[in-house]
A and B are shown apart, each in its own frame.
With several copies, the nearest count.
Chain A
Amino acid sequence: MDFTLTKKEEAFRDELRSWLSVNLPEGWLEGKRTLPESKEAYSRFLRDWQRKLYEGGWAAISWPEAYGGRNATLMEEIIYHQEMVRVKSPPLVNYVGIHMVAPTLMQMGTDQQKEAYIENILTGNHVWSQGYSEPNAGSDLTAIETAAVKKDGRWIINGQKVWTSFAHLADRCFLLARTGQSGKKHEGITVFLLDMNQEGVETRPITQMDGREEFNEVYLTDAIAHDEDIVGEEGKGWSVLIALMLHERSGIAAEVFTLEQQFEEVAEMARTLTSDGKPIIEDPFIEDGLADLYARISGARLNYYRNITHTLKNGKPGPESSLDKLLVSELGKELFDFAMTIQGHAGVLAGGDAPFDGAMQHQYLASFGATIGGGTSEVQRNTIGERILGLPKDLGR
């Protein structure tokens, strides 16, 4: 058992830290972290940041050097996430491109696709979105209805996607569409590399319950793609998805470290807020609840470390990694429920009128999305039950 970093890992961390201290947007480290409001300014801000990462060689550290990456080790990747969480770095607008599309194309893309996309992803010239979910296909992606029909040598695509992140800023979409109806439901699905800048693609933001608009609905009306936009084989999109998931070796590092950081912020609040002149942590119920959360959040982080150890030793993630998502998202909900409760009636205030500028209120509301997006907790539990414990498959699976 060993939790120390190697000299090489330390050097990596220090290099990243010093790069960040110079290159983060001005005032960022000191807490001036507001993003521009207008779509254009917001988009420019994020693209600038993406570009800066590229220029510094920090955009795609786990890619092979041949493609402009650093061929980073898993530990370096984890350190990277840890540091980015530590400085609360701006969101990575091209997350989908860098972590999903490019690695997939490297493995199974045509030479033409590699040529056309990989460098543009790295530089941030092309921002990608992910077109998976649909109104009737949330937990069950095999139920997608968006259809691509071949006509005069072109694929004509119609349907509706939903929960498409960054779609309003994206140039391209990694799109699932149905090209066949035969056999099992996961057959006949094809992955297209869709150009978003065309008439048949319309994007509308979804307003979330926390007031933000991070996701979009995408309406496809006779949108067009070509044979060379297909990833892998026509009708075999499901295996592309599976290959893509297997690339994921660092799991939910960012979420784990974010939860840890959020806990520290809640603890800080419990130590600094006062009621009748006494820090609220002096309330034994608050002390007790915070210690309980400390234990469970530490446990989630340590589970993650155990899983990473497994990946380091075996070269690929073990099935246990699916526990992390469930635990971390559920704990986030509990943490902010607690954070709301301990503020008393003042907890109903928001924004600048609330303690900590309303950060707790905002994160409380946001926490409800984490147990839904990326696979609901119910689906996670099924997966764990079936894949790890070997329990019988559920209804409809």
Chain B
Amino acid sequence: MDFSLNEEQELFRSAVRKYLKDLGGTGTARATIRGDDEPARAAASGLAEMGINAIPVPEQQDGLGLGALDLVPVFEETGRVLLPGLQLETLALAVPLITNYGTEEQKKRWLPLAASGESAFSVAWYETGRSLFPETFACTATRIDNRYELSGVKTLVPVTGSPDLFIVGAEAPGGTSLFLVEASEAASVRPLSCLDETQLPAELSFRNAHAELLGEPGKGQDMLREALLHFNTALVSGMVGGMDELVKITAEYAKIRVQFNQPIGRFQAIKHRIVDMKLDLETARSLSHYAAWAVETGADDRIAAVHSARSFASRAYIKAAGDSIQIHGGIGFTEELDCHLYLKRARYWDHYFGSVRDSRKAAAGSLGWHARQTADAAPVS
């Protein structure tokens, strides 16, 4: 039994953490909020130089061919400082999609760019008024000879970090399918105001955009669901990183802030609330690490593992951020402290490609709870 990250992974974490700390911690996120993307861009390059982009990319495409566990420390540390950028979308969603479903040519073209950090990718999936997995999309792709032309409007597409490529969901002959569309093909990009100002979601419109089919037609939802196991694992690492920092700053504050002649951490209302944050953090961390292991090893319970981590961490992160504000009191309600940045990020991530309810449903389904049994008792309800 060894339920821990290995030494290499922990060493890599230390390096990433130190690098991001030296860049000013959440200062990079605050620059993005002020409209200055340069620090986030520089951080992305620096991280790529450290090799984080190569982690999930197969060796044939200039990557390291490593698994989900190796990304855990990376996303915990970028989550800790709320780093803006497309690392999550590129490395944990687009790369698994292209790796698993792309043609040799598509892999050869795009994956080396991801591995080196030269390109960032994004996913244009959501449409206004539609759920995450709607029966159909309004956005359509028409086949013309050997190519596809894609038209329609996508919303909530992350464009911070200047993606070169979008993976777009659209209706095509055969059903909902995935397409590779280069950024230059977008007819318009309208930035949307966002609660989490470190994010830059946009409304994208396409008019007869040149689109390449990714994987089989009609399998768009299945492919996305599978790739979301990678995505959710990485996302939860980001949440754990944020929660870890929240517990740290909140406990520190409770030790030094004095009211009624006592450090407030002496009051059980404060102390026990921080303990509950810590319990949630450790539970989220355990679930998160196990999810990464399950994804990496293809364990039987990987769907339940990933979605348990996601559903738990989603709410726990929101709660931890809210509690950190309360414990900091007035100053916690100011723009000056970071608490609210974590709250806003926690909300941004809460429904990002799935809700708590979605994850619970997925876990239940994967565990076979709905396979009918012989009823051996019958209650009144």
Binding site for B on A (CB under 8 A): 1-3, 5, 75, 78, 133, 136-140, 143, 162-163, 206-209, 211, 267, 270-277, 279-282, 284-285, 287-288, 290-292, 294-296, 298-300, 302-303, 305-306, 308-310, 312-313, 320, 323, 326-327, 333, 337, 340-341, 343-356, 358, 361, 365, 368-369, 371-373, 376-378, 381-382, 384-386, 388-397
Contacts and interface: CB of A to CB of B under 8 A. Distances in A.
Contacts, number: 321
Contacts of A320: 282
Contacts of B376: 272
Interface string B337-381: 001100100011011110101011101100101111111111111
A306 B286 contact: yes
B146 interface: no
B340 A291 contact: no
A207 B336 contact: yes
B257 to A, nearest CB: 9
Contacts of B255: 390-392
9 contacts: A78-B1, A209-B335, A276-B129, A294-B363, A298-B304, A302-B286, A303-B286, A349-B156, A389-B278
If over half of A's interface residues share one DSSP class (helix, strand or loop), that class is named, otherwise mixed; here it is: helix
Nearest to B272: A381
Interface stretch (B20-28, B50-58, B168-176, B195-203): B195-203
A3 B367 CA distance: 20
Given A282-B370, A348-B347, A395-B267, A355 B311 contact: no
Interface in B239-270: 247, 251, 254-255, 258-263, 265-270
A332 B12 CA distance: 38
Contacts of B335: 207-209, 211
Contacts of B8: none
Nearest to A395: B262
A294 B283 CA distance: 12
A206 B304 CA distance: 43
B329 interface: yes
A388 B281 CA distance: 13
B260 A273 contact: no
B242 to A, nearest CB: 16
Interface in B27-50: none
Contact of A353 (B193, B275, B282, B318): B193
Interface string B270-281: 111011101100
B278 A388 contact: yes
Contacts of B262: 392, 395-396
The 4 closest A-B pairs by CB, nearest first: A344-B381, A396-B260, A346-B379, A209-B340
Contacts of A162: 330
A369 B374 contact: no
A291 B361 contact: yes
Nearest to B381: A344
Given A75-B1, A327-B283, A372-B329, A378 B375 contact: no
Contacts of A295: 287, 307-309, 311-312, 360, 363
Contacts of A5: 1
Interface in B42-76: 69
Nearest to A295: B308
A274 B372 CA distance: 11
B135 interface: yes
Given A276-B135, A294-B363, A143 B259 contact: yes
Interface string B287-326: 1011001000000000011011101100000100010011
Given A267-B369, A344-B379, A349 B195 contact: yes
Contacts of A280: 379, 381
Contacts of A349: 156, 192-195, 201
B131 interface: yes
Contact of B308 (A140, A294, A305, A351): A294
B218 interface: no
A372 B326 contact: yes
Most A CB contacts (10 A, CB to CB) among B259, B285, B350, B373 go to: B259
